[in-house]
Structure 1
Amino acid sequence: MAAPDYVPTETGPANRHYVSPPRLPQPWLAGRPAELTGGQPQGTGMGVPGPDQGYALRLARRFEQELLLEAGEEVEDVIAGCLGLALKRAAAFGRAPVMADLRVAFMLFGYLPPAAGTTFLAWRRKLFAEVSNPHHYLEARHLVNLVPEEILRLTPDEVEAACSPDRSGFFAESTESIV
């Protein structure tokens, strides 16, 4: 249908509010002050980076009812202490944490069956005291450094089979040196 005579047929130039430049003057480069340029730094107290490490906290909460705690031990300290070890195990395999990582960490320190001996429990109680407090980061790192990587690479079944009441073979330093 044709337009009536009183309707204008010619339109004016479009009112453009934004016109992008024909090209970008320079490419964007990551030049932020905190940008890692040489890879992940390594050294004392740096930890072990791995993917999706926050998920380990959610997994650790599933063990709360199973943990074998002694008098004077707090669930928060146990989880905070074993969490770093589980994360180190997961990062050694290059993956996110899974239930097996936490099971190994809790078994190594005697918080899951088989039960540990009394000498070990006294050593463990001193080792885990107040680890959940953020001011005790170095103590939490010390817990992680106690277990060599070759022990962390064992399966949960191998760890459970190798657990004896004293468990001193799992740790880099003797359990009697702290008691």
Structure 2
Amino acid sequence: MAAPDYVPADTATADRYYVSPPRRPQPWMADRPGELAGGQPEGSGLGVPGPDQGYALRLARRFEDRLALAPGEHAEDALAGCVAVALKRAAAFGRAPVSADVEVALRLFGFLSPTPGEAQVARRRELFAGVGHPHHYGEVRRLVDLVPEAVLRLSPAEVEAAGADGHLTLPAPSTGEQHG
């Protein structure tokens, strides 16, 4: 843009261009407090990190009006537990959560079934009681650890078909195991 004649023109600034900062002489090291030395820890109860995990909460809200809850069950508990299972499924595929992850988790526990069986409802009450509260992380981890990766790799249709036939059963929760 042209400037009026009365504005002085400094020709020295017109010849400037971008110059990157000087090179760092030493390589960067993870030596600050809180840095993970040796990579992400692995083990029971630690979970698996994945990208954009908070998006699973938004996806779960899309299923809220379709939940088949029995008396005494709460949508917050069902969604919190199933979101955690959905995140495990997404991480097993090495990606961010998608709607199918949440659907598989909800179908796995019969929350999308119009007529869940009495045994399934009793089991859900035991597994999902209070997991919607942030202080119940240990219970959420135990719930997630119940679902084998082979089951998580099934499609929503395969989970629905296996659940309807009664072929898909999860192991009973271990009460003596501590998760951190």
Q: Same fold judged by TM-score > 0.5?
A: yes
Look up the equivalent residue of 1:65 and give its one-letter code.
D
Runs of at least 5 residues in structure 1 that lack an aligned partner in the other structure:
1-20, 175-179
Against the structure 1 CA distance between its residues 85 and 51, is the aligned structure 2 distance closer, same or farther, given a 3 Å change threshold?
same
> Runs of at least 4 residues of structure 1 off by over 6 A?
none
Displacement of 1:28: 4.0
Distance 1:61 1:31, change over 3 A: same
Change (3 A) 1:23 1:56: closer
Deviation at residue 172 of structure 1 after TM alignment: 2.5
Q: Cα deviation per residue 1:77-99 (whole Å; 9 max; x = unaligned)?
A: 11111111000000000000000
Residue 173 of structure 1 deviates from its aligned partner by 2.6
C-alpha distance in 1, partners of 2:150/2:110? 19
Mean Cα displacement is larger for which, 97-106 or 121-130?
121-130
Listed one character per residue, the Cα deviations across residues 53-83 of structure 1 (whole Å, up to 9, x for unaligned) are 0110111111110111111111111111111
1:129-168, Cα deviation, whole Å (9 max, x unpaired): 111112211111111011111010001111111113756x
- 2:52 counterpart of 1:47: no
For the 8 Å contact 2:30–2:37, the answer to whether it is kept is: no
Q: Determine if contact 1:81/1:128 at 8 Å carries over to the other structure.
A: yes
CA contact 2:56–2:97 (8 Å) conserved in 1 = yes
CA distance in 1, matches of 2:72, 2:162: 27
Contact 1:86/1:97, CA 8 A, preserved across alignment:
yes
Cα RMSD for the two superposed structures:
2.2
TM-score, length-scaled by structure 2: 0.77
The residue that corresponds to 2:57 in the other structure is 57
Which deviates more from structure 2 when the two are superposed, residues 70-79 or residues 83-92?
Answer: 70-79
2:22, 2:162 → 1: CA distance?
Answer: 68
Alignment TM-score, normalising by the size of structure 1: 0.78
What is residue 171 of structure 2 aligned with on the other side? 172
Paired with 2:124 and 2:22, the residues of 1 have a C-alpha distance of: 67
Aligned residue pairs total 154
Partner letter of residue 145 of structure 1?
A: D
SS in 2 for 1:170: coil
Distance 1:109 1:29, change over 3 A: same
Whichever of the two has the greater Rg, that structure is 1
Distance in 2 (CA, whole Å) between partners of 1:24 and 1:41 is 30
CA distance in 2, matches of 1:154, 1:114: 21
What secondary structure is seen at the aligned counterpart in 1 of 2:65? coil
Tell whether 2:127 aligns with 1:121: no
Moved more, 91-100 or 109-118: 109-118
Structure-1 separation of matches of 2:154 and 2:24 = 53
